Amino acid sequence: MKNGHVPTNDKFIIMNSKERIAKALSISTDTKVFEMGQGVADMTPAVFGKCFPGRKAAIVADIHTWPILGERLYGLFRDAGIETDYYVIDKEVFHADWKYVEMTDHIVEGDYAAAKAVEDAENHVEAEPEKLFREPSDAYDVLVSVGSGVINDLCKLASYHHGQSYVSVATAASVDGYSSFGASITYGGAKQTFNCPAPVAIVADIDVIAAAPKEMTAAGYADLAAKIPAGAEWMIADFVGAEPIVPDAWHILQDHIDDFLADPDGVAAGDPKAIADVFEGLTLSGFAMQAARSSRPASCCDHLFSHILDMSGHRFNGQLQSHGYQVAIGTLAMCAVFDELFKLDIESMDVDACVAAWPSLESEQKRALELFKDMSTPELGYDSITSKYEDARKVRADLNRLVAVWPEFKEKLQGQMYSFAKMQDMLRRAGAPYKPEHIGVTNAQLRDMFPVVQLMRYRYNLLDLAKRGCFYDDVVDPLFASGGAFEI
Ligand SMILES: [Zn+2]
């Protein structure tokens, strides 16, 4: 159990899955029903009827999820007397591109011909996001998303555009996005998170999820493993007062995360219990995000490596790499950075020298513009550093406090973190990538991502602290030196 430096809250301790889920639902703001277990897909019409009495359903699936579950659900809905339609996205592979949001908007409105036209459009002109909002109406269909990350995000955002919610039926334990606030969609050439509420109901049939392709579950395991360094970076942001820990959001996930990650061999073997644990962990991290109204509980630098790869359209053997696969490498990178941090003699830090070396905002802005100049969003680093830059007085105060409490704070961070060696072993056993080369990234490319990672988000991270304390090179360079985690 990880308590960080958050006061232990008795009500979260010794809970079984049912109690955990009940507690999680009590703090989640959007999701009111979460059914997880073997065979629970059959409950979907009842869940729909309870959440949306009298409304017409529209099942959204793709050519993979329709035969494994969508078609069966369609029959069950009709047997239950619910007026139901369905739309199957006719693509072997598709990504979270904006045009599919517009396609899904048409499905909500029952205009399947328009949906199909957008789906098949070669050179679709993207509509402006603000223009897609409609007044709520009972005349719209309520979506039943049957799939994993992309289909769920499309249904989440299209439902929001129409002022209503939807039911998410999961087909793989591949991402934490089922229950998260927001949808991650590529718009204008860049991956962006659009605010939108999580589904009112999630149905996770472990029989279906355990039969999903192994690499999808491995990706979900890695996305869950990212909550280890993400939690430690939240502790750091809390320490400097940038983003205080939200106790409910912290405890609901972090108190149990070691258990959820405990059986990587079972995950690889398709064991239903191990996979249910991963799914529950991912879902609870979504609830944590709902409670915090932010992705802070679930991601920090570990995810930013993935965002860089998304923005550059990175492919390996011609294939885009899944979110979880990319996050696996970011997670490993941050475990290695924390390993180096724990070796440092922070108590001997020369705070005066660090404050004297602290750059001006102007020079940081210049560095950011130079770093991002060839990227699809050249002003991203500039905006982030402008938002999170702090003056020398604040830097001095934070460093003085860090030095004063380091032994205690270090112990808490160590209680949260896994070493690089441990994390690498767990990812390997789960069948996830455990070296950058497994997703087609060289160690040198990983090294070059670090300065971008530090500056690409307004969010305070470990690398920001390292810059302030003049130990950035001490925690990053050894990773790529002889004998380092990512030796070049
Ligand atoms: Zn993620």
Distance separating alpha carbons of residues 477 and 36, to the nearest angstrom: 44
Residues of the chain with CATH 1.20.1090.10: 221-480
Bridge partners (DSSP) of residue 42 are none
Residue 158 C-alpha from the chain's centroid: 20
Nearest to 389 by CA among 306, 462, 319, 458: 458
> What is the pLDDT, as a whole number, of residue 19?
86
* Model pLDDT, residue 28: 86
Where, residue-wise, is CATH 3.40.50.1970 in the chain?
31-212
d(CA 286, CA 180): 4
Q: Please state, in angstroms and as integers, the Cα–Cα distance from residue 186 to each residue in 125, 176, 220, 311, following that order.
A: 13, 18, 21, 9
How far is the centre of ligand 1, averaged over its atoms, from the C-alpha of 5 (Å)?
Answer: 24
CA of 231 to the centre of ligand 1 (A): 13
How close are the terminal C-alpha atoms of the chain, in Å? 36
Rounded to an integer, what is the distance from CA 406 to the centroid of its chain? 30
- Closest by alpha carbon to 452, among 359, 375, 338? 375
278 Cα: distance to centroid of ligand 1 (angstroms): 13
Protein residues with C-beta less than 5 angstroms from the ion ligand 1: 223
Mean pLDDT of each 10-residue bin along the chain, 488 residues long: 48 63 87 94 97 98 97 98 98 91 98 98 94 97 96 97 98 91 86 90 96 96 98 98 95 95 97 95 93 91 94 92 96 98 98 98 97 90 96 98 98 98 98 98 98 95 98 98 98
Q: What is the pLDDT of residue 2?
A: 58
324: part of which helix (H) or strand (E)? helix 323-343
Sign of CA dihedral 167, 297, 310, 370: positive
How far does residue 382's CA lie from ligand 1's centre (Å)?
Answer: 24
Give the whole-angstrom CA distance, residue 236 versus residue 388.
Answer: 14
DSSP code at position 7: P
Write out the CATH class of domain 31-212.
alpha beta
**Overall fold of domain 221-480:** Dehydroquinate synthase-like, alpha domain (1.20.1090)
For the record, the structure tokens of 421 come out as: 């060696």
For residues 420 and 339, the answer to whether their CB atoms sit within 8 Å is: yes
pLDDT of residue 193: 85
pLDDT of residue 347: 97
CA of 321 to the centre of ligand 1 (A): 13
CA-CA-CA-CA torsion sign (194, 456, 282, 268): positive
